[in-house]
């Protein structure tokens, strides 16, 4: 993507998330969004047809990024597994092999931190619950798309429930910390990694279907 286009879209995203903190998406006009982004309407229409298209593209971008993160976390996990089998000692092996949960969670953190003001708003204002649900659904869909061919599921419905559980848990943990901030971020990070890792292992059992 051309740098000028990327910069323009970033400004439009920023303006959109500024405006959505004070009004519903369907109340935001193109003129208002363009003015807040410091562009003219003609520039807006070069990239989008409607205000809703901005949010749709943002969600698609997040989905694509999540798929990349899942790919890389699995690749790193397999690499770490091989290192363990070769006798190498790894720090926190349960968190990095055979799926690199530290990389996975830290990468999610980057997405959240890049949009900190918006997610803080989601964590504190129940009127934005529908947007929080949208982001949860993006993560859920990414998980379902990534593991759609895994043979451990007894049905597509089971896979959907598992993806819902992980996605809702991840988003809720993060927004709960944003709302209360009862512990420092690094303490929260380590605890969240452990919780999500165990939930992940219960669902996929990593190597084989989960058994008691």
**What is d(CA 84, CA 42) in angstroms, rounded to the nearest whole number?**
57
Flag whether pLDDT at 196 surpasses 80: yes
Please state, in angstroms and as integers, the Cα–Cα distance from residue 188 to each residue in 104, 139, 173, 185, following that order: 15, 20, 9, 5
Tell me the mean pLDDT in the region 71-87: 91
Q: What's the whole-number average pLDDT of the chain?
A: 83
Q: What is the pLDDT of residue 126?
A: 62
DSSP track, 152-170? T-S-HHHHHHHHHHHHHHH
Cβ pair 150, 209 in contact under 8 A: no
Tell me the mean pLDDT in the region 22-27: 85
**What is d(CA 212, CA 202) in angstroms, rounded to the nearest whole number?**
10
Q: What is the pLDDT of residue 181?
A: 86
**What is d(CA 145, CA 15) in angstroms, rounded to the nearest whole number?**
30
Flag whether pLDDT at 211 surpasses 50: no
Tell me the mean pLDDT in the region 7-13: 91
Q: Given pLDDT bands bounded at 50, 70 and 90, which one contains residue 123?
A: low
Tokens representing 33 are 């969004």
User: What is the percentage of the chain residues whose pLDDT exceeds 90?
Assistant: 27
**What is d(CA 173, CA 41) in angstroms, rounded to the nearest whole number?**
39
Q: What is the pLDDT of residue 154?
A: 75
Nearest CA to 14 out of 113, 114, 110, 108 is that of 114
Tokens representing 192 are 């969240």
């Amino acid at each position: 993507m051309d740098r000028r286009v990327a910069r323009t879209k970033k400004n439009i995203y920023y303006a959109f998330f500024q405006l959505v903190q004070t009004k519903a998406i369907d109340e935001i006009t193109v003129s208002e969004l363009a003015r807040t982004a410091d562009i003219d309407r003609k520039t807006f229409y070069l990239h989008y047809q409607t205000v809703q298209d901005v949010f749709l593209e943002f969600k698609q971008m997040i989905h694509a990024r999540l798929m990349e993160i899942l790919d890389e976390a699995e690749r790193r996990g397999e690499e770490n597994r091989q290192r363990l089998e070769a006798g190498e000692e790894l720090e926190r092996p349960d968190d990095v092999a055979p799926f690199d949960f530290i990389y996975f969670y830290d990468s999610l953190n980057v997405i959240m931190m890049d949009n900190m003001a918006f997610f803080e708003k989601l964590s504190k204002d129940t009127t934005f619950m529908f947007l929080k649900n949208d982001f949860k659904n993006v993560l859920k869909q990414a998980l379902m798309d990534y593991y759609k061919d895994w043979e451990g599921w007894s049905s597509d419905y089971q896979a959907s429930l598992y993806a819902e559980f992980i996605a809702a848990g991840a988003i809720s943990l993060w927004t709960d910390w944003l709302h209360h901030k009862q512990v420092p971020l690094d303490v929260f990070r380590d605890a969240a990694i452990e919780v999500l890792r165990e939930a992940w292992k219960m669902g996929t059992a990593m190597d084989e279907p989960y058994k008691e």
